[in-house]
Chain A
Amino acid sequence: MSKAIIKIEDLKREFTMGTETVHALKGISFDIKEGEFVTIMGSSGSGKSTMLNILGCLDQPTSGTYEIDGVRVKDLSRNELATIRNEKIGFIFQSYNLLARTSAIENVELPLLYNSKVSTEERRKRAIEALEKVGLGERLHHTPSQLSGGQQQRVAIARSLVNNPVMILADEATGNLDTRTSYEIMSLFQELNKQGITITFVTHEPDIATFSSRTIVLKDGQVMQDYNNHNVQSAANELAKLPKQDD
């Protein structure tokens, strides 16, 4: 068996709003193994965002344990969390979050700028490699405003790959894209997953889940369903089935 990258046990997160205590996560347990493509689903208010923040080491659980790549995240300081995010996690956001007026290659280099172990030459080399991997080898010096939504998300994916993370964490990564472009992006994710990259995809769109190998459904801060998808759809095939667009 491949090793577990994420280990979550009885994870709870509470927020205090005035005098009331909101239980966003009420004891969640699951593991994510290396090479898995997991979608975390749930309607709004299900605790999905809270789960994502904790998985992404942006937030700390109130109780329970969270381990990523053998590191227990609880009780780490702000700075230690930043280092974990820098070295172990690749983020992809719904709104891409690229730096405006900054070339694709510089956007991709960003995480490596905060890693002093990477030299300038290596940083450039890895950024080019990552952009080639997402099919943007020809657009290294384009700024976000010169790229389409799909292309911008590809730059963001390249940025998430550049630090060789143990897991890519995507937050509604196709939410701003049309069906055709989201299928293109999903097919890219599937390709990356085939190359052995672990992907955790948070979404509320059921059709996105059909492209993943496993789905965890959250409801009211608890795991409602956790099942392996035995009939993984190929995004490339689905894309081919879509009616041809007029150019």
Chain B
Amino acid sequence: MRLLNLFKIATKAIILNKTRTLLTMLGIIIGVASVIAMLAIGEGSKESIRTSISAMGSNMITIKAGADTRGGVRQEASVMESLTLSDYEAIKAQSTLISYSSPVVEGRGQVINGSSNWPSSIYGVNPEYLNIKVVGLQSGSMFTDAEVQTASKVAVIGQTVVENVFPDGEEPVGQMIRFNNIPFKVIGVLEEKGENTFGQDQDDVVIAPYTTVQKRILAIDHLNQIMASAISEEKAPEAVLEVSNILRVQHKLTDSNDDDFTVRSMEELISTFSSTSEMLTILLVAVASISLLIGGIGIMNIMYVSVKERTKEIGLRMAVGGKGSDILMQFLIEAILISITGGVLGVLLGLGATVFIEKFLNWPTSVALYSIVISFAVCAVTGIFFGWYPARKASALDPITALRYE
């Protein structure tokens, strides 16, 4: 009841000073709106940075057979035959943090088409390989799971191979090539990807079903690698641990045994990604807090002036029975109302600005719900925090002095 009355008094005071209230609110409105727009732009940029870093295959995980010692001689990892298809199947079946996975067998050889030939590498994989490497097809199509099952002699080739074995600019899709004298039908051409960070040409590849490569070219039944991608960059380190645990069980390793395999993620890319987004977040939070602080100071300023200006009114209210706490609450409610109303208007303006930026400037934006919740909460807190001092001052006035104040 008493609080309701004070609420009415405060509302009345705000309505009586429309212009001044609106000007005060402007600080908060602009503060909140810029926070929301900033965070929306920030989230949008983060999103697009995430996409472009992901395009480098930053969430990729590679599993290789580990080095081992045989009869006192350290063996090269690639010699080991400990990684098998059942390991791949176990990872695929049990892992929860892996979105794509593919067995990998690889070999080198000569690609031949008529009179042209070119030394290249062949990778035996499954169709998910393209998703893991984040590479698309320029023309044609990827082979299917059914073609993997039947060990079909089909291949997808990279740009460098195309240039060297189809020098006359023929359309490679549908043509037959030979790899180490085994005929393959070209069914697709990969997009150009350029060199990787170590200067290796990523376009100098022939991709075929792993079953075909195992049986027809390498005559092996183990795998050289398993490639996978974690569901996100952040989850990659966890995924590495998960895969290791699955493989330890799979390889029946006891606690005293070391891993006979290695699982690696793209540490460098991941740390680039997380440090970039961290920096963006810090920057945005800094901008946001500064604008809200300024808005808050605006409120304190006006409330302070308001208390001075209304000293006589405060004196009267005290004379007719207003307690110090009533006066304190009145001014506090006023400050909170101003900041919350400003907050609501600011959220609306911010959303409007975001739509504008997206539509007319074509910047990627993404409005995060948390930015609305946070800026709104900060608004309310700002109202209380910056309204407290002037309200406190008003409530501590001596009624006699206040009444005589001119």
A-to-B contact residues, CB < 8 Å? 53, 56, 58-59, 78-79, 82-83, 85-87, 91, 93, 97, 99-102, 106, 110-111, 113-116, 159, 163
Contact call A114/B319, Cβ cutoff below 8 A: no
> Can you give 7 A-B contacts (C-beta < 8 A)?
A58-B400, A82-B323, A85-B320, A91-B320, A111-B320, A113-B5, A116-B5
Q: How far is the CA of A83 from the CA of B318 in the complex (A)?
A: 10
Contact call A114/B5, Cβ cutoff below 8 A: yes
Q: Does B350 interact with chain A (Cβ within 8 Å)?
A: no
Q: How far is the CA of A183 from the CA of B315 in the complex (A)?
A: 28
Count: A-B pairs, CB below 8 Å: 67
Q: How far is the CA of A85 from the CA of B109 in the complex (A)?
A: 103
**B403 cross-chain contacts in A, Cβ below 8 A:** 58, 93, 97
Contact call B324/A79, Cβ cutoff below 8 A: yes
Partner of A82, one of B1, B2, B8, B321: B321
CB distance from A81 to the nearest CB of B (A): 9
Q: Does B53 interact with chain A (Cβ within 8 Å)?
A: no
**B8 cross-chain contacts in A, Cβ below 8 A:** 113
**A116 cross-chain contacts in B, Cβ below 8 A:** 1-2, 5
Contact call B5/A99, Cβ cutoff below 8 A: no
Q: Does B325 interact with chain A (Cβ within 8 Å)?
A: yes
**B2 cross-chain contacts in A, Cβ below 8 A:** 114, 116
Are A102 and B16 also in contact (CB < 8 A) when A114-B326, A116-B2 are? Answer: yes
Partner of B320, one of A78, A100, A110: A110
Please encode chain B, from 334 to 346, with 1 for each CB lying within 8 Å of some chain A CB and 0 for all others: 0000000000000
Q: How far is the CA of A201 from the CA of B324 in the complex (A)?
A: 27
Interface residues of B in 377-406 (CB under 8 A from A): 399-400, 403
Contact call A86/B400, Cβ cutoff below 8 A: no
Q: How far is the CA of A173 from the CA of B326 in the complex (A)?
A: 27
Query: 12 extra interchain contacts, Cβ-Cβ under 8 A, other than A85-B320, A97-B319, A114-B326?
Result: A58-B399, A58-B403, A59-B400, A87-B321, A91-B320, A93-B403, A97-B316, A99-B316, A113-B8, A114-B323, A163-B320, A163-B321
Are A82 and B318 also in contact (CB < 8 A) when A97-B403, A102-B16, A116-B1 are? Answer: yes
**B315 cross-chain contacts in A, Cβ below 8 A:** 97
B-to-A contact residues, CB < 8 Å? 1-2, 5, 8-9, 12, 16, 312-313, 315-326, 399-400, 403
Contact call A85/B325, Cβ cutoff below 8 A: no
Closest to A56 in B: B319
**B316 cross-chain contacts in A, Cβ below 8 A:** 93, 97, 99, 110
Partner of A79, one of B312, B323, B399, B400: B323
Closest to B4 in A: A120
Partner of A91, one of B312, B319, B323: B319
Q: How far is the CA of A159 from the CA of B403 in the complex (A)?
A: 16
Are A83 and B12 also in contact (CB < 8 A) when A53-B400, A99-B316, A116-B2 are? Answer: no
Q: How far is the CA of A59 from the CA of B400 in the complex (A)?
A: 8
Contact call A102/B12, Cβ cutoff below 8 A: yes
Partner of A83, one of B16, B317, B321, B324: B321
**A159 cross-chain contacts in B, Cβ below 8 A:** 320
Q: How far is the CA of A23 from the CA of B355 in the complex (A)?
A: 72
Q: How far is the CA of A56 from the CA of B319 in the complex (A)?
A: 8
Contact call B16/A85, Cβ cutoff below 8 A: no
Contact call A85/B400, Cβ cutoff below 8 A: no
**B317 cross-chain contacts in A, Cβ below 8 A:** 110, 114
**A115 cross-chain contacts in B, Cβ below 8 A:** 321
Contact call B12/A85, Cβ cutoff below 8 A: no
Are A114 and B16 also in contact (CB < 8 A) when A58-B399, A58-B400 are? Answer: no
**A110 cross-chain contacts in B, Cβ below 8 A:** 316-317, 320
Q: Please provide the 4 A-B residue pairs with the shortest distance between their CB atoms, ordered closest to farther.
A: A86-B321, A111-B320, A114-B321, A116-B2
Q: How far is the CA of A163 from the CA of B320 in the complex (A)?
A: 9
**B399 cross-chain contacts in A, Cβ below 8 A:** 58
Contact call A85/B313, Cβ cutoff below 8 A: no
Partner of A86, one of B312, B313, B320, B324: B320
Contact call B400/A82, Cβ cutoff below 8 A: no
Contact call B312/A113, Cβ cutoff below 8 A: no
CB distance from A195 to the nearest CB of B (A): 21
Q: How far is the CA of A85 from the CA of B316 in the complex (A)?
A: 11
**B324 cross-chain contacts in A, Cβ below 8 A:** 78-79, 82
**B320 cross-chain contacts in A, Cβ below 8 A:** 85-86, 91, 110-111, 114, 159, 163
Q: How far is the CA of A91 from the CA of B399 in the complex (A)?
A: 13
**A78 cross-chain contacts in B, Cβ below 8 A:** 323-324
**A97 cross-chain contacts in B, Cβ below 8 A:** 312, 315-316, 319, 403
Closest to B406 in A: A95
CB distance from A132 to the nearest CB of B (A): 20
**B321 cross-chain contacts in A, Cβ below 8 A:** 82-83, 85-87, 111, 114-115, 163
**B313 cross-chain contacts in A, Cβ below 8 A:** 99
**A79 cross-chain contacts in B, Cβ below 8 A:** 323-325
Q: How far is the CA of A116 from the CA of B403 in the complex (A)?
A: 24
Q: How far is the CA of A91 from the CA of B69 in the complex (A)?
A: 102
Closest to B312 in A: A97
Q: How far is the CA of A163 from the CA of B315 in the complex (A)?
A: 18
Q: How far is the CA of A211 from the CA of B403 in the complex (A)?
A: 27
Q: How far is the CA of A100 from the CA of B12 in the complex (A)?
A: 12
**A85 cross-chain contacts in B, Cβ below 8 A:** 318-321
CB distance from B322 to the nearest CB of A (A): 5
Q: How far is the CA of A206 from the CA of B399 in the complex (A)?
A: 29
**B326 cross-chain contacts in A, Cβ below 8 A:** 82, 114
